[in-house]
Structure 1
Amino acid sequence: MSTATAEAGLTVQTSEGPVRGRVLGDTRSWRGIPYAEPPVAELRLRLPRRARPWSDVLDASGFGPWAPQRIHRLLPGAGPRTPMSEDCLTINVTAPKTPSADPLPVLVFLHGGAFEAGSAAMDLVDGSGITAMGNVLFVSMNYRLGALGFMDFRAYSTPDRPFEANLGLADQVAALEWVQRNIAAFGGDPGNVTLFGQSAGATSALTLMCVPAAAGLFHRAFLQSPAAGVAYSPERTEQWAAEFLGILGVGAGGAAEALSELPAAALVEAAGQLSGKIVPEAQPGARSLAPVVDGTFLPVHPLDAFADGSAQRIPLVLGTMESEGTLFDRFHDVLPTSEARIEKMFALTEPGLRDGVVAAYKGYPHKKQAVELGGDAVFWHPGLQVLQAHSEYAPAWCYRFDYAPRAARLAGLGATHGFDLPAVFGTYGSGAGRALLGLGNRRTTANVGHRFQSALLRFAKSGAPGPMWPKYDTVSRRTKIFDRYDRIELDPRSARRKAWNGYRGYR
């Protein structure tokens, strides 16, 4: 292959300036393209602003820096030398190596990480396999995390130093606006954009379905393990902001200066203490790093928006893992997966529902049932609330991912949170993916992953995940179970579903 052929189509003119990518295997890739101005100095804790134009060709061969965060062992690819910076608002595009004569469907991925960690550069979420297999365009981005992206400091604004809320979500909206302006130049169809994500990324996508500024920027949503109840009132988020400043040792009078001038690392550390230790014990099941129902950018709580039909009425696939809670109980203890936390959660939220819910978990308060209950409280139950409501207004499909490789089963984790990522991305060859296959099951695991990935691709191309996957409704509640052998179940775990009916959490 000649150099000219290999480099064909690698320089693309975007709305801000020309960018030059590179060929990677069977794809063409552009990485680290700024979609907004660096949110630093006077732009820290402010809404994103469109990137300034440039005239020289931008080298788009490498990922941009990760958003400031603490390195966590659950994040494959992160280490002491991982580049991090507040100047992190970059977007990445991967396209098939051979350009298409027709515009291609676009899949936009939002990474997870509890709103405080993660990056589009993680090898576990490499979209080249999706692009090559599906003949689609794959887009990912970094967005602000932690205190810089998901805390509400508006109460400490001054005339000279205003602060705004929902900044991480606003970054995502800015990236989706960039997609609408530019994706056609890369060969994509701006009228066929599927937004998908996992964990906090799925929660973000679900929330964006309720954000007026995001209306029309994407046309389908595929959500893996969203925590649909994780959005809070200004009164609650202001309380957490005050606790955050207390950790920093800063009073209200010095808050604006401290939030503007302290190093990002100090804000990261304080947010980690609040979200990782203080709030999980004080308000089990709540997350201090989360969207705020501010009345403007996010007018109402997402669960209420789905219930009243004001969420975007677009095709939706939503699912959870069979054992969401086990990963957190073992490695990231922030869920209500102990008897003490569960009892406190009900006391603070819905004490009248406590007896009925725990009775549905035979064997509670034994550890296994407590872990199941905690995972269901945060992921499964609110996800069903969304599906129940949305299915009345738009096409909706439900799944549960039950397959776990032998290594995961023997470790006592089962099909837990995040183990669907290598399946949907086809990245079992990554470091984390290889660990899951350390004791075999390679062929079966690959087959399950292929079916899961194929469902995403069919959904992106046609608006439905497959002919053998019926829509969700509130009568039959048909749910696709991904396992060694896939199946459809009617109203799985119906006793638990009925027991949770009416639970509203920390709204």
Structure 2
Amino acid sequence: MAKRRWHGIFGRWLAAVAPALLLAPAAAAPPSAPDRPVVAIADGRVGGVAGDGFALFRGIPYAAPPVGERRWRPPAPPARWRGVRDATAFGPACVQPPLPPDALYADNPARMSEDCLTLNIWAPAGAKDAPVILWIHGGSLRIGSSADAFYDGAAYARRGIVFVSINYRLGVLGWFAHPALSAEAADGTSGNYGLRDQIAALAWVRRNIAAFGGDAHNVTVMGESAGALSVSYLLVSPAARGLFDKAILESANIRAVPPLATAAYGLTPAEQTGTALAAGVGAADLPGLRALDAAALVAAAAKARFVAQGTIDGRVLPEQVVDAFDAGRQARVPILAGFNGNEIRSQRGLLPPAPADAATYVGEIERRYGALAPAFLRLYPASDIAGSMLAAVRDAVYGWATERLVSGQAAAGLPAYLYIFDHCYPAAAARGLCGFHASELPFVFGQIDPGGAMPPNWPRPAGAVDRALSDAMIGYWAAFARTGVPAASGLPVWPAYAADQGYMRFADRAVPGYDPQPGMFEVHEELVRRRRAAGQQWFTNVGVAAPLPGATP
């Protein structure tokens, strides 16, 4: 009892004489153990768990909870804490809508909260000045979390990489713009809160990662799908400049996104979209919006078909990614990027209705593409309408974007590497899902065989071929994070893109090659050039869904 009274007196004294320290109680820590890893960082001490050759720290806050009055504000520094903070459990996922339980990608989080800005660190034993990877999860910027089954950084920690995974605000809570939010902001902008979170996490890594054995000046930012889209934003964001040194993008897209207050490329201004959503949920002002239950707001946004995406705000995301690359204003860092051979097999909602027959297909392509139709039909012939439509959307969304990013860095004289993941294994083949969107993830994270963690409906890879391919990919990724060159002992040499459009194809094994899809990039680059000149969006509107000549944006 006397001891408790002493702690109470000390706490009152500290609050009275040292408010600038911003100390908060640590989360309850588990009983101490001799082998329990404890690390001191700027905000306090964290206690993790010991792994096989590494220490794991989960749920470390990198920013203050964005709740209440902090909803839709830039991330603020976390409060410091006393004692050893328990870092043995993942933090809750950011609030998001559920996926149907039978969905391929369903991996609904066990816990959700607006207080979700945490990160996790896999730190190799005895590491000092080790390379760092910061992982940004995918999920259309509306679902997912750093605790998802795939994203175990152990395979990288065992290769001497400090691996960091993060949560960031999703959906309407992370990508919502509104005139009143812009008016109250110091920089006059709104939206892009999820992107600001990612930048805050990178800044946290810069300040703290040395305590975990990482080199703050050798950081690779890495993401898949919406995570790769986020990396493309980071590549052109002045606010992220200098916070990372390399970039890995898996299945990125670089479609146009809306400006804050003006229309462009047929897109509604982001503030106008936000105003309409606020009216739809019956919120008359910002206090009303901030008072809404987070889950109810997310559900209302989903019903209104709110699209989570970046906003061209002139500050954090100052211009379209393609414009920044054209002007050479992107970050000058090495890049490794790729896409999957059959991305759209698991994203059939992106496909337009198929034409009735080959003659109708050819007629539509000729009507919509004019002089470019013969080149388009050589790539996507009428002899296989279904396959051609899958390939055309794949290339419009992922293939062109990937090669655009890689070729842009190569043209700037930077190391740039392209890959295509085209591996098919029995469980995927049985469901017609060879090379589907995100199918590289178990290989990139080493989640192979029955012990591998992945969503419950995922076609599970297993076997010696899959294990060998996974080991090769992790070896390449780790080498790139270490040196900027994906060169690993005992593996084929990965030719740089600058060397005659060199690339690596990951099929049953790694096979280097050149000019992966002759003519593909050139055709889609010309299509995008025409769309940009006409003020039209470029994304899934290709093939029989392409706009007619002279169509308005």
- TM-score scaled by structure 2? 0.79
Which letter does structure 1 place at the counterpart of 2:426?
Answer: R
Give the aligned partner of residue 232 of structure 1: 258
Q: Residue 362 of structure 1 contacts residue 369 of structure 1 at CA under 8 Å; is this kept in 2?
A: yes
Q: Residue 270 of structure 2 contacts residue 311 of structure 2 at CA under 8 Å; is this kept in 1?
A: no
- Is 1:495 equivalent to 2:519 in the alignment? yes
* Selected match of 2:199 from 170, 173, 188: 173
Q: Residue 60 of structure 2 contacts residue 118 of structure 2 at CA under 8 Å; is this kept in 1?
A: yes
Change (3 A) 1:242 1:300: closer
**Deviates most, 403-412 or 20-29:** 20-29
Partners of 1:160 and 1:23 lie apart in 2 by 43
Change (3 A) 1:252 1:154: farther
Change (3 A) 1:24 1:163: same
Partners of 1:70 and 1:160 lie apart in 2 by 28
Which letter does structure 2 place at the counterpart of 1:408?
Answer: A
Cα shift at 1:501: 2.3
Q: Residue 248 of structure 1 contacts residue 270 of structure 1 at CA under 8 Å; is this kept in 2?
A: no
Change (3 A) 1:185 1:160: closer
Change (3 A) 1:366 1:108: same
- Is 1:34 equivalent to 2:61 in the alignment? yes
Q: Residue 358 of structure 1 contacts residue 364 of structure 1 at CA under 8 Å; is this kept in 2?
A: no
- Is 1:466 equivalent to 2:494 in the alignment? no
* Selected match of 2:133 from 107, 111, 121: 107
Partners of 2:88 and 2:231 lie apart in 1 by 27
Cα shift at 1:367: 2.6
What SS does the corresponding residue of 2:504 show, helix, strand or coil? strand
Any idea what the Cα deviations from partners look like across 1:245-297, whole Å, max 9, x if unmatched? 65665389825344322211222223323448xxxxxxxxxxx3111121111
- Is 1:78 equivalent to 2:103 in the alignment? no
* Selected match of 1:430 from 441, 452, 464: 452
RMSD of the TM alignment (CA)? 2.9
- Is 1:355 equivalent to 2:373 in the alignment? yes
Change (3 A) 1:445 1:437: farther
Give the aligned partner of residue 407 of structure 2: 388
Which letter does structure 2 place at the counterpart of 1:465?
Answer: P
Which letter does structure 1 place at the counterpart of 2:446?
Answer: G
Give the aligned partner of residue 215 of structure 1: 241
Any idea what the Cα deviations from partners look like across 1:403-452, whole Å, max 9, x if unmatched? 121111221111111111110100123353786665x7511111111111
What SS does the corresponding residue of 1:295 show, helix, strand or coil? coil
Q: Residue 400 of structure 1 contacts residue 480 of structure 1 at CA under 8 Å; is this kept in 2?
A: yes
What SS does the corresponding residue of 1:300 show, helix, strand or coil? coil
Cα shift at 1:90: 0.6
* Selected match of 1:326 from 345, 360, 381: 345
Partners of 1:354 and 1:415 lie apart in 2 by 29
**Deviates most, 404-413 or 229-238:** 229-238
Partners of 2:210 and 2:315 lie apart in 1 by 31
What SS does the corresponding residue of 1:208 show, helix, strand or coil? helix
Which letter does structure 2 place at the counterpart of 1:404?
Answer: C
Cα shift at 1:174: 0.3
Give the aligned partner of residue 457 of structure 1: 478
Any idea what the Cα deviations from partners look like across 1:54-75, whole Å, max 9, x if unmatched? 2232111111110111122344
- Is 1:18 equivalent to 2:45 in the alignment? yes
Percent identical residues: 32
Cα shift at 1:228: 2.2
Partners of 2:462 and 2:208 lie apart in 1 by 42
What SS does the corresponding residue of 1:494 show, helix, strand or coil? coil
Partners of 1:103 and 1:404 lie apart in 2 by 38
Q: Residue 189 of structure 2 contacts residue 313 of structure 2 at CA under 8 Å; is this kept in 1?
A: no
Cα shift at 1:233: 2.6
Which letter does structure 2 place at the counterpart of 1:355?
Answer: A
Which letter does structure 1 place at the counterpart of 2:204?
Answer: W
- Is 1:196 equivalent to 2:222 in the alignment? yes
Any idea what the Cα deviations from partners look like across 1:82-109, whole Å, max 9, x if unmatched? 110111101111112x323x32111111
- Is 1:95 equivalent to 2:123 in the alignment? yes
Which letter does structure 2 place at the counterpart of 1:65?
Answer: P
Runs of 5+ in structure 2 lacking a partner?
A: 1-31, 356-360, 532-536, 539-553
What SS does the corresponding residue of 2:57 show, helix, strand or coil? strand
- Is 1:254 equivalent to 2:276 in the alignment? no
Give the aligned partner of residue 123 of structure 1: 149
Which letter does structure 2 place at the counterpart of 1:413?
Answer: L
What SS does the corresponding residue of 2:150 show, helix, strand or coil? helix
Runs of 5+ in structure 1 lacking a partner?
A: 277-287
Cα shift at 1:153: 2.2
- TM-score scaled by structure 1? 0.86
Any idea what the Cα deviations from partners look like across 1:25-75, whole Å, max 9, x if unmatched? 432111111111111111111111111222232111111110111122344
| Higher-Rg member (1/2) | 2
Any idea what the Cα deviations from partners look like across 1:80-139, whole Å, max 9, x if unmatched? xx110111101111112x323x3211111110001001000012111112212x121110
Q: Residue 446 of structure 2 contacts residue 452 of structure 2 at CA under 8 Å; is this kept in 1?
A: no
Cα shift at 1:150: 1.8
What SS does the corresponding residue of 1:391 show, helix, strand or coil? helix
Change (3 A) 1:441 1:37: closer
Which letter does structure 2 place at the counterpart of 1:498?
Answer: E
After superposition, residues 388-427 of structure 1 pair within 5 angstroms as 388-393=407-412, 394-427=414-447
Length, aligned pairs only: 475
Partners of 2:118 and 2:329 lie apart in 1 by 30
Partners of 1:128 and 1:17 lie apart in 2 by 25
